[in-house]
Amino acid sequence: MSTEEFTRDVTVPAPPERIFAHLAEPESYLGLSPLLVAVRDIVRGGDGIRYVAVERFRILGPLRWDNPIRVTMTFPEPGRRIVSEVHSPGGVRLTATVVLTPMDAGTQITETVRVTYPRPLRPLVIGQAAKAQRHRLAELARRMTVSSVDESKG
């Protein structure tokens, strides 16, 4: 098994509390993660939230493969840090840690992704994980910017 880790950040004009509330809901990841098409079997417990997320991969033309992944979200620092542990078929394990840091202009969102995978799957796993992280942060920034603009009009 091989392991790699990468970190990206973005600053958005929204308070950490709003971002945290959004990210603490499994349904919010629909559209945040480009491959995610469904969230089901949500179980809320004292230590976090467990659910199944379904990723859809296009293979050739209309052919697709749905990949159910088990996700456990915990909140080691409520309002400031979310850790998502993902167990995917094929021995792929991913941990995404999101840290929210208040800034004068809003919040800096820093996401660190650590992924462990069988070596032959490296191109697929690392390529998809990095692409998903870029998309997730860009979409989250868009959502929080639109929310901030909408609130300032009200």
pLDDT digits (tens, 9 = 90+) for 108-143: 999 999 999 999 888 888 988 899 899 999 999 999
Q: What is the pLDDT of residues 75-105, one digit of tens each?
A: 998 889 999 999 988 889 999 999 999 998 8
Tell me what pLDDT residue 148 has. 54
Look up the CATH number of the domain holding residue 147: 3.30.530.20
* Sheet with 92-103: strands ordered across: 2-12, 106-117, 92-103, 81-88, 64-77, 48-58, 36-45
Domain span holding position 121: 2-153
pLDDT of residue 147: 62
The amino acid at 100: L
At residue 15, does pLDDT exceed 90? yes
pTM (whole model) above 0.75: yes
* Pairing status of strand 64-77 against strand 81-88: antiparallel
Residue 44 near residue 119, CB atoms below 8 Å: no
Query: Number of folded domains in the chain?
Result: 1
